[in-house]
Amino acid sequence: MNPRILPRRAGLLALGTAALVGFTTVAGPPAPATADSDEFRPQLVTVDTPTREDKRLLQTLGLDLTEHAGHDYVEVVLHSPADVTSLLTAGLGYDVRIPDLLLREAENNRANAAYAAATTTSPLPSGRDAYRTLADYDADMAALERDHPELVTTFTLPHRSLDGREIRGVEIGRDVHGPDRGLPTFLMLGVHHAREWPSGEHAMEFAVDLAKNYGKDPRITDLVDRARVVVVPVVNVDGFELSRTDGGLVDLRSLDDGGTASLLATPGNAYKRKNCRLVDGQDTPDGTCRAGSATSPGGFGTGVDLNRNYGGYWGGPGASDLFADPTYRGATAFSEPETQNIRELISSRHVTTLITNHTFSNLVLRPNGAAPDLVPPSEGVPLGDPFDEAALKALGDAMAAQNGYTSQHAWELYDTTGSTEDWSYNATGGFGYTFEIGPDEFHPPFPQVIDEYLGAGEYAGKGNREAYLLALENAVDPATHSVLTGKAPAGATLRLRKTFATPTWEGAIQDTLDTAMTVGPDGRFTWHVNPSTRPVVKDRQVETVSSDPVAQQTYTGTTLPLQSTDSEFTVARDADLLEIVLDWPTPDDMDLEVYRKNADGSLEQVGSSGNFVGEKERVLLQDPAQGTYVLRAINFASVTPTWTLTASLFEAESSTVPGLVENWTLTCEVAGQVRETAPVVVDRGQRLRVDLRACGRR
């Protein structure tokens, strides 16, 4: 999910028989290739940009700029002799840092091949020892259905990708081929972002895990009996096909003792983020994605960020309206076939819990994606916290305790709108989470994928596998959703339907939820459903901050590039909000991290802000515990290293924005004819008996 990487301490993973090749800055770089070179290999260069005008000039050249830059340089991937010509013609000098990115890729691929050669069967449920290709996913899903025909069925989503590919998934459950009898649905998604390969691996491994252990593991057997589990391991099939085909395991990072980890671009489409939308708002002929992506080296400038294209508050903070930007939101909400697929899947079932997998940062993120004090113009009131904040946090914390990740609101990473779970939760009431898998790479060495799934070190035997099982337990727990019971004619179709306006940032779109189940042969039904009232229209708790802080301290300092400076602030009284704002006088890049000092002197991170270039940093902590906080100003790439840091403690008045009560429209159909219609109002955790006796009368 991360479009950028915050500074962190980089580490190496021991692979046993397979040693990884580390990426380091080339010492004594060779002379740069010229436009006249007989053979050109993609290379990483540091372009000299001593002035702001030089940076602006560089941005007009259409080159593959990385997000690693300093006060007098920007790092760029040169993919062709034409790129060299562009730099030379513009009069911009440069030094070669890595002369051959393809060689680097080959070295890492050999390291992974060595692991696979030394491994007969990995500890994963599937036994795989290497990343899947798109064809592997399709084959593995087909094999899962073949090997477990009474438990697993494959399906194809209705909308093909822009490049004409089918998007497939698997459904797992007892009597999976029979009619829907009203069981809750647990949905697992992977690879919204093309380069995030582990997200698909974990989704697929969980499907294999459930199928292989059904009938053997009592816990898994019970959970599968009580749910329908739906897994779509690769949502962005076009982007993944390009990324996986072009890429080996490549993360070009500066691994220095200062702990700097900077995302750099790679050859081909190995680090493609978005889908294959080549012309904004228009379809293109099937099979043209690779050729179209070639117009933007590495495919970085083409496509829509699918995790900014969902309807919930679409078009707001954290989503760009510029087609070439990494977080481009699309021409309209749900403009892309991939997000249309997931929208229709969720709208036709009662998905009581959802996990969408991404990489990286070791996080379990929950709604909302945008900070609670932001005010969407479409609504005119602050977003506030989710209506189900306490329950969402409790499950997020429980899952994070299994994998060692940090459980937090999505907005605490950075503001995001148009994301998967923000739409699904606010539109349906089903709980939704993003998992950011792994500490520091988009697609790391494969043994890390194994460790993240099964757990390693103090989390051995837990990991994401155990976290996913907790999520599945939440999905089947009636206390977390709603239940309708009653009698109706055997074989009758019961349908719940609702059409409503989903708020975007500045307007609204129409959504329709339309779900159905079939009454069993005994004429009794138990239907696990989501609450009738959507969270987005429920009572909203908002906090109005007092105009003056009850305590405030301002710090100034100077921090050299790639260095950090710590300041301490003491919270000595109860308060509602702690706001930390980092400002500096240039449009360049600094970051902010906030830690709470424990009794033993150790530091626990409680907040961070790493916005894009030119955006100031802000951390907001609700109900801060008393004690000492360490405020860390990090000079990521600022021309002028002087900054101002302000910590302010506020009291706030809590108020309630009155909400609405919504109903489902329940119909009972026999032989295709609606015999009874009734409104149904049901809350989370409520079990409601519905009288459908009239449906049995002609």
pLDDT in tens, 154-192: 999 999 999 999 999 999 999 999 998 999 999 999 999
Query: What is the predicted pLDDT for the residue at 64?
Result: 60
Residue 613 has pLDDT above 60, yes or no: no
pLDDT of residue 419: 96
Which CA distances in Å does 569 have to 51, 546, 580?
36, 20, 10
In this prediction, residue 106 has a pLDDT band, given cuts at 50, 70 and 90, of low
Max mean pLDDT among 63-77, 105-119, 242-256, 674-688 falls in 674-688
- Residue 202's nearest CA partner among 20, 355, 422 is 355
How far apart CA 141 and CA 143 sit, in angstroms, is 5
Arithmetic mean of pLDDT, 34-45:
56
pLDDT recorded at residue 298: 65
- Looking at residues 76-99, what average pLDDT do you find? 81
Express each pLDDT in 116-131 by its tens digit. Answer: 999 999 999 999 999 9
DSSP 379: T
pLDDT on residue 33: 36
Q: What angle do CA 530, 535, 541 make, to 5 degrees?
A: 145
Mean pLDDT for the stretch of residues 495-501 = 96
* Among the ranges given (73-77, 82-86, 634-638), the one the predictor scored with the smallest mean pLDDT: 73-77
Split at pLDDT 50, 70, 90, the class of 561 is confident
pLDDT tens digits for 640-650?
A: 688 999 999 98
State the pLDDT confidence band at 603, using cuts at 50, 70 and 90.
very high
Q: C-alpha distances in angstroms, 194 versus 134, 481, 549?
A: 11, 33, 45
Rounded to whole angstroms, the Cα distance separating 419 from 396 reads: 17
- If you search the block for the tokens 């309630």, which residue do you land on? 656
Contact 463, 266 (CB under 8 A): no
CATH code for 43-98? 3.30.70
Cα 188 from Cα 680, distance rounded (Å):
29
614 has pLDDT over 70: no
Mean per-residue pLDDT, 89-97: 85
* Most confident of the ranges 20-24, 138-142, 692-696: 138-142
Model pLDDT, residue 235: 98
Write down the catalytic residue from 338, 412, 436, 593.
Answer: 436
Mean pLDDT check: name the lowest of 153-167, 227-241, 552-566.
552-566
Give the pLDDT confidence of 622-669 residue by residue, as tens digits. Answer: 789 999 999 999 887 666 688 999 999 988 777 777 888 999 999 999
Question: Which position has the higher pLDDT, 266 or 571?
Answer: 571
Mean pLDDT of 676-688: 95
pLDDT of residue 587: 65
CATH class belonging to 547-650: mainly beta
Residues 6+ apart with CB under 8 A from 326: 3, 273, 274, 300, 305, 320
Lowest pLDDT segment from 109-113, 265-269, 290-294, 465-469: 265-269
> Could you report the per-residue pLDDT of 317-353, keeping only the tens digit for each?
888 888 887 778 999 999 999 999 999 999 999 999 9
Q: Give the whole-angstrom CA distance, residue 356 versus residue 44.
A: 33
Res 1 pLDDT > 60: no
In total, the chain counts a number of residues equal to: 698
The predicted pLDDT at position 69 comes to 43
Yes or no: domain 134-247+306-322+340-480 corresponds to CATH 3.60.15.10: no
Q: What is the residue-averaged pLDDT of the chain?
A: 84
pLDDT the model gives residue 546 = 67
pLDDT band at 485 (very low <50, low <70, confident <90, very high): very high
Higher pLDDT, 199 or 273: 199
Decide if 436 is catalytic: yes
Strand partners, 180: none
Q: Label residue 20 by pLDDT band (50, 70, 90).
A: very low
**In the structure encoding, which two tokens stand for residue 314, read together?**
């679409």
CA distance 11 to 256: 10
What is the rounded CA–CA span in Å between residue 315 and residue 335? 12
Per-residue confidence (pLDDT) for residue 53, from 0 to 100: 63
Q: Which position has the higher pLDDT, 454 or 414?
A: 454
pLDDT band per the 50, 70, 90 thresholds, residue 105? low
Instruction: Please report which confidence band the pLDDT of residue 277 belongs to, taking 50, 70 and 90 as the band edges.
Output: very high
Neighbour count for residue 500 (Cβ, 10 Å)? 16
CB 80 within 8 A of CB 40: yes
pLDDT at 439 (0 to 100)? 80
Q: Is 455 left (phi over 0), alpha (psi -120 to 50) or beta?
A: left
Mean pLDDT of 611-627: 78
CB contact at 8 A, 592 and 580: yes
pLDDT for 22 beyond 50: no
- Percent pLDDT > 90 in the chain is 57
Looking at residue 470, what is its pLDDT?
Answer: 98
Rounded distance between C-alpha atoms, residue 678 and residue 662, angstroms: 13
Q: What is the pLDDT of residue 697?
A: 78
Residue 99: predicted pLDDT: 77
Average pLDDT over residues 213-222: 98
Confidence check: pLDDT of 152 > 70: yes
Hey, what are 7's tokens?
Answer: 């500074």
Residues carrying CATH 3.40.630.10, the chain: 134-247+306-322+340-480
Q: What is the pLDDT of residue 41?
A: 64
Top-confidence residue, 53 or 628? 628
**Sign of the alpha-carbon torsion through 200, 68, 619, 595:** positive
Q: Where in the sequence of the chain do the CATH 2.60.120.380 domains occur? A: 547-650
pTM, to two decimals: 0.77
pLDDT for the residue 269: 83
DSSP annotation of 489 reads -
At 252 the pLDDT is: 35
Mean pLDDT for 432-445 is 86
pLDDT exceeds 50 at position 70: no
Is the alpha carbon torsion for 303, 308, 310, 313 positive or negative?
Answer: negative
Q: Quick one: which H or E segment has residue 57? A: helix 52-59
* Stretch(es) of the chain classified as CATH 3.30.70: 43-98
Q: What is the mean pLDDT of residues 363-389?
A: 91
Q: Which tokens go with 72?
A: 């007098």
